[in-house]
């Protein structure tokens, strides 16, 4: 079985085996096509490396530069990019078809707090036995929550049945949802109970 080709990065210095290269100096000057040994000698004169930057050109384009520094900068940029990629937290708010007004308002406050922190909110309405016959009531709960939060969140997933539950997902509207923190900052932190579970998923790009 063929072994996978190892990606060793660009060819540098004596790994460049072609007879000639199109050379760029360390300060960006185009030096034209030169013999490869001469190009390596020029790189050594300034204490830098000869690095192949465009291998598909004919002849390939090489540049005189500090390859170690270039690798460090590339890794640094990659780390910074990874830090900017934040995880989207999805908080779960659970209700039942028979949830009363007081409990409904408690769940609504939980949802506001989560949205205010930039989290998505998954509304789960759980059914037991014959309660599935009252899916219209559950759908009304979802519509009411979406309407109450319409200024701050958009419905990312419309209410739908999933086994013995109905789910709906709300996503915070950038620049709007943060206002909810001011409204709920004096409220106690919602307890991490079955009514407010946490799930994590990657943001593709939210």
Contact present, 112 and 149 (Cβ < 8 Å)? yes
Stronger pLDDT, 12 or 84, i.e. the higher one: 12
Question: pLDDT band for position 48 (50/70/90)?
Answer: very high
Looking at residue 80, its pLDDT comes to 81
High-pLDDT (> 90) share of the chain, %? 50
- The structural domain count of the chain equals 2
131 band by pLDDT with thresholds 50, 70 and 90: confident
Helix axes of 101-116 and 135-148: crossing angle, nearest 10 degrees: 50
Residues 56, 99: one domain?
no
**Dist. CA 145–CA 139, nearest whole Å:** 10
Residues 183 and 117 in one domain: yes
| Structural domain containing residue 197 | 87-202
Mean pLDDT of the chain: 83
Q: Is the pLDDT of residue 23 over 60?
A: yes
Residue 199 has pLDDT above 60, yes or no: no
Q: Do 95 and 197 reside in the same domain of the chain?
A: yes
Q: Is the pLDDT of residue 172 over 70?
A: yes
Residues 110 and 195 in one domain: yes
In this predicted structure, the answer to whether residue 44 has a pLDDT above a threshold of 60 is yes
What's the pLDDT score for residue 188? 55
Is there a single domain that holds both residue 94 and residue 195?
A: yes
Question: Per-residue pLDDT averaged across 78-103, rounded?
Answer: 83
The answer on 184 and 91 residing in a single domain is: yes
Structure tokens at 25: 């100096």
CB atoms within 10 A of CB 118: 16
Residues 54, 113, single domain; the answer is no
Q: Which residue has the higher pLDDT, 103 or 202?
A: 103
Query: What is the model's pLDDT at position 204?
Result: 37
> In this predicted structure, what is the pLDDT of residue 185?
64
């Amino acid at each position: 079985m063929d072994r996978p080709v190892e990606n060793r990065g660009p060819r540098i210095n004596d790994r460049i085996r072609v007879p000639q290269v199109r050379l760029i100096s360390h300060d960006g000057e185009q030096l034209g096509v030169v013999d490869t040994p001469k190009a390596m000698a020029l790189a050594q004169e300034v204490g830098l490396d000869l690095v192949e930057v465009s291998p598909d050109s004919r002849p390939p384009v090489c540049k005189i530069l500090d390859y170690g520094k270039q690798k460090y900068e590339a890794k640094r940029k990659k780390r910074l990019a990874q830090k900017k990629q934040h995880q989207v937290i999805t908080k779960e708010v659970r209700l039942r078809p028979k949830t009363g007004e007081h409990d409904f308002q408690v769940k609504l406050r939980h949802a506001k707090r989560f949205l205010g922190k930039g989290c998505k909110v998954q509304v789960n309405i759980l059914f037991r036995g014959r309660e599935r016959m009252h899916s219209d009531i559950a759908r009304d709960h979802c519509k009411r929550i979406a309407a109450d939060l319409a200024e701050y969140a958009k419905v990312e997933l419309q209410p739908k049945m999933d086994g013995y539950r109905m789910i709906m997902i709300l996503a915070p509207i950038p620049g709007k949802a943060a206002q909810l923190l001011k409204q709920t900052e004096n409220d106690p932190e919602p307890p991490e109970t079955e009514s407010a579970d946490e799930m994590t998923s990657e943001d593709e790009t939210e």
